[in-house]
Amino acid sequence: MEAFRDAIRSVMSGSSDDQQLDCVLMASVQKQLTEVADAVASVWPLAALSDPERRECAKTSAVKQFLAKSIVYDDVRNSIEADAYFVMEGRCTCLQRLRVRKTTEYGRNYFTLIRDHDRNSQSNLDLNKNVQTVYVKMTDLRPGSVFGLGERCSGRIVIATTDVKCLLVPLAFLAKHNTSNIWGRTVCSLNGTNPTAEQSFRKFVVENRWAEYKKSLADDLFRKRRP
């Protein structure tokens, strides 16, 4: 779309000829359609679709680029979208967003995971005390990876590790062309391999305790070396 807008600005600033404008716009649209069609043809099992089905896919899909360190997908921001993301180029990191409550007893930190039903409960209005948001790394996403198919994604956020290019395909199209339930089986596979929020929370607790232990050990060694 950026190339499309650039083409419009270029023509509008250089000429007022409507026919020339139409030609440039048509060329820009055709270039984008070709880029999407090439992306569709490079993704299995989309590449196995018939020619008419691939053309339909290209017309309804889009190729989107993301700069390094930018947000590719956020379950809150993208919840109203209905697209699956196929990573074409670059690498992403998938993180789990957690809300945790921190308490300290006898100099040691303890954490409690706050779930959605806890936040919505009227009997837990004090949960905002000592509450923090943490992010736990789940997995790396490379070319060939897919997400946003309908897998479990509450609290998930995807960050571009490098510059990233993704093919966005409407879920409605995938549901229409779901031979051998390939997408349903992919969702089951993603749910089976991606850690749950509870598993990510346990990882966070272990990492936090390990960091505390290393700090305590370093402090003890420093004190012993002091004259």
41 in any annotated domain:
no
In a domain, 188, yes or no: yes
* pLDDT at res. 196: 94
pTM of the model: 0.79
* pLDDT over 60 (residue 12): no
Among 81-95, 118-132, 177-191, 212-226, which stretch is predicted with the lowest mean pLDDT? Answer: 118-132
Indicate if the pLDDT at residue 21 is higher than 80: no
Write down the pLDDT at residue 212: 76
In a domain, 79, yes or no: yes
| pLDDT value, residue 208 | 87
Nearby residues of 188 by Cβ (< 8 Å), 6 or more positions away: none
Instruction: Let me know if residue 22 belongs to a domain.
Output: no
Give domain status of residue 121, yes or no.
yes
Rounded CA separation 8/101 (Å): 52
Which of 212, 74, 190 shows the shortest CA–CA distance to 135?
74
User: Does 81 reside within a domain?
Assistant: yes
**What mean pLDDT, rounded, does the chain reach?**
83
d(CA 160, CA 92): 4
- pLDDT tens-digit readout, 150-201: 998 889 999 999 999 999 999 999 999 998 999 999 999 999 999 999 999 9
The whole domain housing 84 covers 61-221
Answer yes or no: is 193 within a domain: yes
Which residue in the block uniquely carries the two structure tokens 């305590």? 216
Amino acid found at 57: C
217 lies in some domain: yes
Question: How many domains is the chain built from?
Answer: 1
In this model, does residue 78 exceed pLDDT 90?
Answer: no
Nearest-10 Cα torsion for 21, 25, 26, 31: 140
What is the average pLDDT across 136-152?
A: 94
The enclosing domain of 180 has a CATH number of 2.60.120.10
User: 148 to each of 38, 87, 94, 134, 199, how far by Cα in Å?
Assistant: 21, 11, 12, 22, 20
